[in-house]
């Protein structure tokens, strides 16, 4: 096991060094306004050429650097978290393959090579979700892979449609006029991004994918896989401009996931629903044409959300491998350092002033509030943002202030090998946002109307009073009066039910087609039928080739009789 741990430290150190170099080059490319477009001809045969294209600009380099750095921290963390696991080596290989797939996706301006990374992400994430090989993880893996396959099909159709343009490099599409062809391609790309980034109605797979190990959740379901759809749309921003459809989808996803997180009791699912809420915010920002602000929030969100998941892993270990927040409490006593990290990253998620999440989230909301907007959608976005605060406070109440007596003094999970990588991420979660805001996304003076300022204050007071009243009520009273509503809101508006049960008749039709075509008529008239007929004919010929003297004498007698008759 010591040798394997050395391998993970070696891979983690290598990823960290490459990640920091990429971050440095990304900032260098930004300040010098450089873009490098590389075409690598792998081989050619007569008139056929296989060319790998890569684009190096400040977005791709900085995002890839951040992904590699977070992957390195997850590698360091996994060494102790997964220690003693039977398939530890397989786990490390899968995580490494996942990082390579993400690098393919980030660097490619070609839709075919993007499909390599896109499909690689879906396949490896399926293998990671079913890692524990039980019924729960098998079901979660199935809904994950089927949801992602819809996006893969959309990318394949987009590749087929790009034949009309003579090139699969979507980098050149920005120089073309907008017509029906580009509109159809954009629809396919938005569909693919919605499935990968778990927007409504494809949201059910993201909380279900929490069946994977916690380091996987920190890497795959916070900063890489789910942000791949947002990153793809950032690359296609010049074709999209302002999209009302995507705005409604993003706002509804924010509202649904933020509301559902207030009724969820699984620690990892609450953090997954908060990821879903932030993805909705990024999509909403993209739909308004503010793609650079969406990228800004993508970067800051990856920092504090990966830290949240790593802290959750320590809490789960410390409380005897339980994920139910009602069975936790007093963790500030047993895990003081991790509790401090968790508190800081939760505050960054809420947009607490001068933490990383504040600079991106505040800028997005204020730019939206200054624009012309519908009052209904304004209220949806406003309450969806407020729900981030309420479920974070509820989570901290259960984890830190819930009284569990002597069990609060348990400490099974806080070790130096886990604290060290989290320390690097807390540094990014606190300071990176302010640096990026002052150097890359310059601050602008925004003067909001007084009524909007008072509305925010009133919304906070209203929600906290309601939340305090809700927590003070007895469980029986809540179940009697609000049981059905809580079940509806806590189950993501029945999206998991619809995503699975709704498609069962289609799967049954597939079983019927398989039985009567592939295993029926096609089997009879196809390859197996031909083989059986040919073998029966050949066996008859072989029957005549038996070395039996009676047969030879009989054949000679027949030939002689035939010649005598002819004469």
Q: Are 538 and 428 in a shared domain?
A: no
Q: Is the pLDDT score of 326 beyond 70?
A: yes
Whether 248 and 379 map to the same domain: the answer is yes
Q: Which of 477, 499, 524 is the last residue of a domain?
A: 477
110 vs 494, higher pLDDT = 110
Task: Report the alpha-carbon distance of residue 189 to residue 154 in Å, rounded.
Answer: 7
Residues 419 and 528 in one domain: no
The residue that leads in pLDDT, 26 or 454, is 26
Are 472 and 541 found together in one domain?
no
pLDDT at 506 over 60: yes
- pLDDT over 90 percentage in the chain: 0
170 lies in some domain: no
pLDDT score, position 378: 84
Q: Which domain holds residue 552?
A: 510-566
What pLDDT is attached to residue 479?
57
Q: Within a 10 A sphere around the Cβ of 93, how many other Cβ atoms?
A: 14
Please give the pLDDT value at position 5: 62
In a domain, 327, yes or no: yes
Whether residues 256 and 371 fall in one domain:
yes
Nearest one of 247, 140, 275 to 190, comparing CA atoms: 247
Half-sphere exposure of 318 (CA within 13 A, CB side): 29
pLDDT(468) > 70: no
Q: Decide if 56 is inside a domain.
A: no
160 falls within a domain: no
Whether residues 406 and 517 share a domain: the answer is no
Asked whether residue 485 is domain-assigned, the answer is no
Of 452, 477, 502, the last residue of a domain is 477
pLDDT attached to residue 540: 66
Q: Give the other-Cβ count within 10 Å of 163's Cβ.
A: 9
Alpha helices in 170-266 (DSSP H): 180-196, 205-208, 214-219, 228-235, 237-240, 244-261
The 3-state DSSP class for residue 184 equals helix
pLDDT value for 108 = 84
- 270 and 319 assigned to the same domain: yes
Quick one: three-class SS letters along 394-457? Answer: HHHHHHHHCCCHHHHHCCCCCCHHHHHHHHHHHHHHHHHHHHHHHHCCCCCCCCCCHHHHHHHH
Taken in order 108, 111, 112, 118, is the CA torsion positive or negative? positive
Q: What is the pLDDT of residue 490?
A: 67
Measured in residues, the chain has a length of 567
Q: Which long-range contacts (CB under 8 A, 24 or more apart) does 179-187 make?
A: 182/239, 185/158, 185/161, 185/239, 186/236, 186/239, 186/240
Among 458, 477, 496, residue at a domain's last position: 477
519 and 425 inside one domain? no
Domain total of the chain: 2
73 in any annotated domain = no
Q: Cβ(63)–Cβ(18) under 8 Å?
A: no
Instruction: Work out the burial of residue 147: count CB atoms within 10 Å of its CB; fewer than 13 is exposed, 13-18 middle, 19 or more buried.
Output: buried
More confident residue, 567 or 390: 390
Q: What share of the chain is helix, strand, coil (3-state, %, to 5)?
A: 80, 5, 15
List the one residue out of 73, 114, 333 whose CA is nearest residue 228: 114
Asked if the model's pLDDT at residue 306 lies above 60, the reply is: yes
The mean pLDDT value for 494-517 works out to 71
Asked if 232 and 59 count as a contact pair (C-beta separation under 8 A), the reply is: no
**Residue 202: what pLDDT?**
83
Looking at residue 405, its pLDDT comes to 56
Q: 131-188: per-residue pLDDT in tens? A: 888 888 888 888 888 888 888 888 888 888 877 776 777 766 766 656 776 778 888 8
Determine the pLDDT at residue 480.
62
DSSP symbol at 212: S
In a domain, 44, yes or no: no
Residue 169 DSSP symbol: B
Is residue 390 within 8 Å of 317, Cβ to Cβ? no
C-alpha distance from residue 72 to each of 9, 20, 66, 69, 127 (Å): 9, 11, 10, 5, 20
Handedness of CA 15, 21, 27, 32 (dihedral sign): negative
Cα–Cα distance, 307 to 347 (Å, whole number): 12
The highest-confidence range among 76-90, 251-265, 549-563, by mean pLDDT, is 251-265
Quick one: which of 146, 142, 110, 148 has its CA closest to 129? 142
Q: What is the pLDDT of residues 219-233, one digit of tens each?
A: 887 778 888 888 888
Distance CA 109, CA 98 (A): 19
Q: Does the pLDDT value for residue 116 go beyond 70?
A: yes
CA–CA separation, 93 and 67 (whole Å): 17
What average pLDDT does the structure give for the chain? 80
264 within 8 A of 490, measured Cβ to Cβ: yes
CA 379 to the chain's CA centroid: 28
Angle value at C-alpha 517, between 513 and 520, nearest 5 degrees: 120
Residues 422 and 539 in one domain: no
In a domain, 340, yes or no: yes
Summarize pLDDT for 369-428 with one digit per residue, the tens: 887 778 888 888 888 888 888 888 888 888 887 766 555 556 565 777 788 888 888 888
**Beta bridge partner(s), residue 51:** 41
Task: Answer with the residue of higher pLDDT: 320 or 123.
Answer: 123
Which of these ranges, 67-81, 184-198, 247-261, 540-554, has the smallest mean pLDDT? 540-554
190 close to 253: Cβ distance less than 8 angstroms: no
The CA-CA-CA angle for residues 327, 329, 335, to 5°, reads 120
pLDDT of residue 547: 57
Q: Retrieve residue 328's tokens.
A: 């936790």
Domain co-membership, 432 together with 551: no
What is the predicted pLDDT for the residue at 557?
79
- Per-residue pLDDT of 90-106, as tens digits, reads 888 888 888 888 888 88
Same domain, residue pair 288 and 401: yes
Clarify whether residues 457 and 514 are in a common domain: no
């Amino acid at each position: 096991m010591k040798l394997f741990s050395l391998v993970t430290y070696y891979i983690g150190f290598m990823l960290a060094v490459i990640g920091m170099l990429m971050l440095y080059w990304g900032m260098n490319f930004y300040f010098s306004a450089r873009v490098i477009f590389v075409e690598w001809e792998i081989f050619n045969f007569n008139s056929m050429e296989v060319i790998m294209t890569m684009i190096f600009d400040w977005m791709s380099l900085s995002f890839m650097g951040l992904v590699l750095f977070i992957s390195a921290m997850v590698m360091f963390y996994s060494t102790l978290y997964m220690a003693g696991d039977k398939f530890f080596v397989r786990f490390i290989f899968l995580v490494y393959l996942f990082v390579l797939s993400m690098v393919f996706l980030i660097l490619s301006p070609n839709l075919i090579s993007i499909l390599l990374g896109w499909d690689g992400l879906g396949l490896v994430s399926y293998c990671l979700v079913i890692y524990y090989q039980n019924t729960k993880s098998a079901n979660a893996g199935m809904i994950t892979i089927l949801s992602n396959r819809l996006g893969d099909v959309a990318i394949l159709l987009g590749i087929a449609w790009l034949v009309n343009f003579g090139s699969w490099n979507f980098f050149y599409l920005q120089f073309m006029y907008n017509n029906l062809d580009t509109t159809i391609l954009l629809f396919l790309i938005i569909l693919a991004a919605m499935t990968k980034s778990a927007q409504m109605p494809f949201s059910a797979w993201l909380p279900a994918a929490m069946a994977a190990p916690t380091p996987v959740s920190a890497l795959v379901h916070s900063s890489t896989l789910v942000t791949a759809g947002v990153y793809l749309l950032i690359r296609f921003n010049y074709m999209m401009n302002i999209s009302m459809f995507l705005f409604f989808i993003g706002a509804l996803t924010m509202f649904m996931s933020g509301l559902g997180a207030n009724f969820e009791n699984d620690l990892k699912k609450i953090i997954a629903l908060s990821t879903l809420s932030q993805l909705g915010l990024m999509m909403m920002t993209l739909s308004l044409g503010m793609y650079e602000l969406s990228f800004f929030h993508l970067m800051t969100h990856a920092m504090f959300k990966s830290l949240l998941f790593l802290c959750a892993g320590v809490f789960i270990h410390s409380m005897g491998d339980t994920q139910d927040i009602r069975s936790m409490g007093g963790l500030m006593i047993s895990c003081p350092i991790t509790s401090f990290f968790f508190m800081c990253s939760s505050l960054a998620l809420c947009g607490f002033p001068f933490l990383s999440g504040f600079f991106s989230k505040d800028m997005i909301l204020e730019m939206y509030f200054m624009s012309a907007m519908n009052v209904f959608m304004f209220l949806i976005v406003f309450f969806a943002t407020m729900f981030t605060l309420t479920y974070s406070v509820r989570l901290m109440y259960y984890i830190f202030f819930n009284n569990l007596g002597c069990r609060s003094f348990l400490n099974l999970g806080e070790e130096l090998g886990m604290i060290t990588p989290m320390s690097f991420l807390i540094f990014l979660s606190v300071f990176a946002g302010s640096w990026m805001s002052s150097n890359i996304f310059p601050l602008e003076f925004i003067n909001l109307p007084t009524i909007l300022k008072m509305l925010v204050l009133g919304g906070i007071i209203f929600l906290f009073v309601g939340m305090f009243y809700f927590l003070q009520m007895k469980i029986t009273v809540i179940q009697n009066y609000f049981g059905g509503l809580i079940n509806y809101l806590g189950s993501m508006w029945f999206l998991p039910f619809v995503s699975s049960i709704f498609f069962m008749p289609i799967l049954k039709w597939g079983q019927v087609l398989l039985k009567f075509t592939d295993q029926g008529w096609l089997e009879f008239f196809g390859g197996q039928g031909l083989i059986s007929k040919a073998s029966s004919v050949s066996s008859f010929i072989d029957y005549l080739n038996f070395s039996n003297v009676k047969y030879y004498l009989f054949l000679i007698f027949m030939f002689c009789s035939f010649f005598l008759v002819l004469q």
